[in-house]
Structure 1
Amino acid sequence: MRPFRSVLFPGRNPGENAEPEFFRDLNLDQIVDAVTSGREEYDLRPFFYAPSADCAEVRYRHEVLRDVQRDDVRASVDEFARRMRQVRKQQETSGKLHYEKQKQRWFLDAVESYCATVASLRAQLGECELSSPGLRGLREFLSGYLRSEEYLALVADTRRCREYLARIKYRVHIRGLRVDVRRYSGESDYTDEVEKVFARFKQGAARDYRVQFREDADMDHVQAQVLDCVAKLFPDAFQRLRDFCARHRGYLDPTVARFDREVQFYLAYLDHMRRIEVSGLAFCCPELSPDSRDIEVADAFDLALAGKLVAERVPLVRNSFRLTGGERVIVVSGPNNGGKTTFARMFGQLPYLASLGLPVPAASARMFLPDRVFSHFEREEHLATLRGKLDDELVRIRGILAEATGDSILVLNESFASTTLHDARFIGGRVLEAVLRLGARAVYVTFVDELAALDEAVVSMVGAVAPEDPAERTYEITRRPADGIAYAEAIAAKYGLSYDALRRWIAR
């Protein structure tokens, strides 16, 4: 059996990856922002930049997710995360303090908390019925770790160091500005006798003149000097503390630390899912095939848009689509502002989220894991490139087609809309032919309806409008032949002659 190392990457080390180029086009950056909000301490973003094309790895994550969704497992993991935050806080405090002896004591507390936290996690997971190889592997690792010489020595050394410090007893005698610190020698405590003597003079509640200690962790210079005196009285105990800190500087086991961070990837996404699901929207773990390149999705939605609309309590339209058999490309046409771009983003989000091993925003989904995702959205002109908009679009699409394969996903949105109808039809046709030769799966949003009938491998989908009012968009994208008016509507809108504009003029 392969030794356990990770609940995310069972067989590989992903390294550090930058945000993919298509993230902003597909609003995946907004999704990651929403998912990771409040968990900045874990630096989860790199995990969202490391997709997998391995169905076995994705299923491994699905099984971990199912375990973590159970109440008892989730409670155990949440408790572990809470206690590990306390460990980090104690260690961070140790690093920030000024006085060395105080830093060492905070470090000792952090190590003690860590030992108890790891033991508690193993005990709690032992009471859970785990089905995922990931969490079962973690439990087995913890069992071995708690029996290891390294851990047992750490626990024993921590206990001994605390016991030596607990034996320290001293007294402080203050006379004017002079502070005398000595060993405690069994001097009598006269508190009770003093109270008895003065009890006869007590009239009502007495004012409390005791000085309250400050809540901040750091000591002042007087306390530090008292502590230095105590250290001189008990040199052996403080030498043990110094030696302890030197020996156990790297006490945190890397596998435990990795789990503490990686499990937050699951928890963060599950918490975001719950915020979306309260509105009635569904998520599912997609059915994956290493051989078939068919895609069938029911009642899917744009997760970035859902995050905004759910917060505003606005209903969200869901759409379904499929590319099966010899079908390769969906050409989406229809009126402006009818949900075409949202549909295209959703088309790209689904396989990418699936490649992260996460539930996808859909009622059901069957798909493959892409090797790459590419996007081609309209860009503003940049003087630095010395290229016009069309020239820039052609350069970018050429780069995409040079890198894409038959296992890639392409999202092409309103490409070549800046040129004439004739040129857009010609260029768009050549691009779609190249995509079909590659065998990649793609969505192509366009105002050129003729492209929807380019080839038998091309599927036409059209943005719907309300039958009783063509100006009202339903945001549903339906599978049907293009109606031939998308370009006309685009031209009318460009010159202020759209249905909405004319109706406003007539109303005047």
Structure 2
Amino acid sequence: MTPGPSVLFPGEEEPDQPAQVEDPSCFGDLHLDQVADFLNPAGQVDLRSVFRQRLTTVASVEARLHVFADLERDADLVAGLRRFVDAQKPVQQALEVASGPSYPRERDGWFLEAAQRDLACVADLDRLLRDRPGLRSALGAIARHVVALVDGTAHRRLHTDADAARSALGTVRYQVRIQGARVTVSLDDAGDDDFSAEVTRSFARLRQGPAPQVRAASAPQQLQANHVESKILGLVARLDPAPFAELARFRSEHADFRDPVLLRFATEIQFYLRHLDLMAALSAHGVPFCHPRVEVDPDQEEARGFVDVALALRSGPGALVPNDVARSGAERVLVVTGPNQGGKTTFCRAVGQLFHLTGLGCPVPGTAARLRLATSIDTHFERTEDAADPGGQLEDDLRRIRTVLDRCGPGSVVLVNEMFSSTSLEDAELLGRRVVDQLARTGALTVWVTFVERLARLGPAMVSLVAEVSEDTEVRRTFHVRRRRPDGHSYALALARRHGLLRQDVLACITAGHDPDTRKGSEER
């Protein structure tokens, strides 16, 4: 375990437990894999294992939210931390060359370069965090660690030794003479070889005005010397060995110059910075974010103004319809009914995302949220029937929900979408009653999307939510999911009425010899 403070696992959580190398089974159904893709861009440190791992205590969730609070109120702090993260890349790049297949003295030189780059990073971080007001989170512990590190004896010695090694290299002066294929190297004791003043004097009489400002084009840096350069370096080191001995000594004495706490911090803080990027992207589309209130077994739970994060990332400004949800007391199962394509699945998915993001200790989309700390999140979404499965879709549904029932408990969240759709209405109601009853008795919070409206009337554990349609036409989806009793409307009948396909409409068209398609209402046009 790395000693010292951690911004991802402050206090009660174990930072070095085995990382989750695969997405949890609910990720695909909830589109959390798409959110993970946004938070882990190509070429960056992969933090998917952190995104997969929900926290286990309320204190840990609140500790992460405190870090977010510090960052959200201090834009300069965020900008400085981004610079710190970016500055780690050239340090690592130099270390990779220093441990690569290049020549020994060249590797020693790149090791010194890496150390000095790292010293500059730490110095910048110290200036950013030292005496910074308002750090109430684990960032305050990082700030104290940086101050103690910079003021410590070991760090000062590292700085002194790095400067000494660089100064020693600065004394090396040599000449290279090339005659055909022969290269001769000798030490240069002539002193200053800066001929710029002499060149200026020689051409002064030709000068007619101030020289134009010319910016040289930057060329890509070549990190490794070629074999000729390395051979010359070896000859110079043979002629003047003392500076190179100082360089080798520096590497030997400071082999582990990087501070492990700051090395971990440079990775961990990216979790917060990337989620801030997500918040900024969605805020530009009008999506608000809030800090959830988290409890182990709350008597009441609610979320207001939330949306599907994955859908929001693909949508433009103003394209999303926010929703609210709430439960209290004995209410455990949210039964969502309404027309097809009315937003029921999106609502269910968004609720699951809320609980996962809350478990990560992240701000969540919405204006307010009070939620449980989910001990597990399970999904049962409709699957395409596999012709090779001898049991068929119904048996697959039963096997999968049995697995969920076996592991869920009072802290669980279960999200079910259109289960038993392959059966008759009567069978779907009978099986649904039994499963819903067992889920309610476990204490799990369940969101059950179904076409069986009677499940919403089973008792006090049920909450009826309806995906509404507009009051004028009965078929225009509003994508609002409201808490109310199902009304038993046949939306298929409403659609038939809209398109002139009721029995009397068809008979009238047959009698008159008209095409039913010509009967479409003005509201469709």
TM over 0.5: yes
Q: Distance in 1 between matches of 2:191 and 2:171?
A: 16
Residue 507, structure 1, aligned to residue 517, structure 2: yes
1:231-242 equivalences in 2 (<5 Å): 231-242=237-248
Distance 1:191 1:327 in 2: 86
What secondary structure is seen at the aligned counterpart in 2 of 1:74?
helix
Compared with structure 1, are the counterparts of its residues 184 and 391 closer, same or farther at alpha carbon in structure 2 (3 Å cutoff)? same
Residue 198 of structure 1: CA displacement? 7.6
The alignment status of 1:415 with 2:425, answered yes or no, reads no
* Corresponding residue for residue 57 of structure 2: 54
CA drift of 1:93 comes to: 3.8
1:353-410, Cα deviation, whole Å (9 max, x unpaired): 1110001111111111111111000123446754311111100000000000011011
Match of 1:217 among 219, 223, 236: 223
Tell me the amino acid that sits aligned with residue 285 of structure 2: S
1:9 corresponds in structure 2 to 9
Offset at 1:193? Answer: 10
Contact 1:333 1:446 in 2 (8 A): yes
Mapped to 2, the partners of 1:233 and 1:469 lie a distance apart of 93
Question: CA distance change for structure 1 residues 221 and 24 in 2, over 3 Å: closer, same or farther?
Answer: same
1:472 aligns with 2:476: yes
The Cα offsets for residues 161-193 of structure 1, whole Å up to 9 and x where unpaired, read as 112111111112223332211111226859579
Matches within 5 A, 1:257-406: 257-310=263-316, 313-382=317-386, 386-406=390-410
Tell me: CA distance 1:119–1:465, structure 2 relative to 1, closer, same or farther (3 Å): same
Change (3 A) 1:436 1:147: same
Q: Distance in 2 between matches of 1:303 and 1:457?
A: 28
List gaps (5 residues or longer) in structure 2.
Answer: 210-217, 507-514, 519-525
Instruction: Give, as a single letter, the amino acid of the residue that structure 2 aligns with 1:336.
Output: N
Does the Cα contact within 8 Å between 1:471 and 1:500 map onto a contact in 2?
no
Per-residue CA deviations over 1:243-288 (Å, capped at 9, x if unaligned) read 3334433322221111101101001001110111122221100112
What runs of 5+ residues in structure 1 fail to find an aligned partner? Answer: 206-211
Distance in 1, Cα, partners of 2:364 & 2:204: 77
Q: Which residue number in structure 1 is paired with residue 521 of structure 2?
A: none
CA displacement at 1:420 relative to structure 2: 1.0
Which residue in 2 is equivalent to 1:71?
A: 75
How far apart are 1:32 and its partner, in Å?
Answer: 1.3
1:90 matched residue in structure 2: 94
The answer on whether the counterparts of 1:293 and 1:368 sit within 8 Å (CA) in structure 2 is no
TM-score (norm 1): 0.89
> How far apart, CA to CA, are the structure 2 residues paired with 1:444 and 1:285?
26
Q: How high is the sequence identity, in percent, across the aligned residues?
A: 34
The one of 174, 189, 192 equivalent to 1:170 is: 174
CA contact (8 A) 1:76 1:125 kept: no
Q: Distance in 2 between matches of 1:46 and 1:213?
A: 37
Could you tell me which amino acid in structure 2 is paired with residue 238 of structure 1? F
Q: Which amino acid aligns with 2:64?
A: R
Equivalence for 1:126 = 130
Amino acid at match of 2:434: R
TM-score, normalised relative to structure 2:
0.87
Q: Deviations over 1:452-503 (max 9, x none)?
A: 10111101111111112222111111111112236x73xx79xx96956949
Q: Deviations over 1:16-54 (max 9, x none)?
A: 01311101101111111112225x432111111110131
| Letter in structure 1 aligned against 2:36 | V
Give 2:162's aligned residue. Answer: 158
Question: Counterparts in 2 of 1:185-200, with a 5 A limit?
Answer: 185-186=189-190, 191=195
Once residues 203 and 297 of structure 1 are traced to their aligned partners in structure 2, the CA distance between those partners, rounded to angstroms, is: 75
> What SS does the aligned partner of 2:184 have?
strand
Q: CA deviation at 1:131?
A: 3.0
> What SS is found at the alignment partner of 2:29?
coil
Q: SS of the counterpart of 2:113?
A: helix
Counterpart position of 1:424: 428
Q: Distance in 1 between matches of 2:282 and 2:328?
A: 29
Report deviation, 1:200: 11
Q: SS of 2:348's equivalent?
A: helix
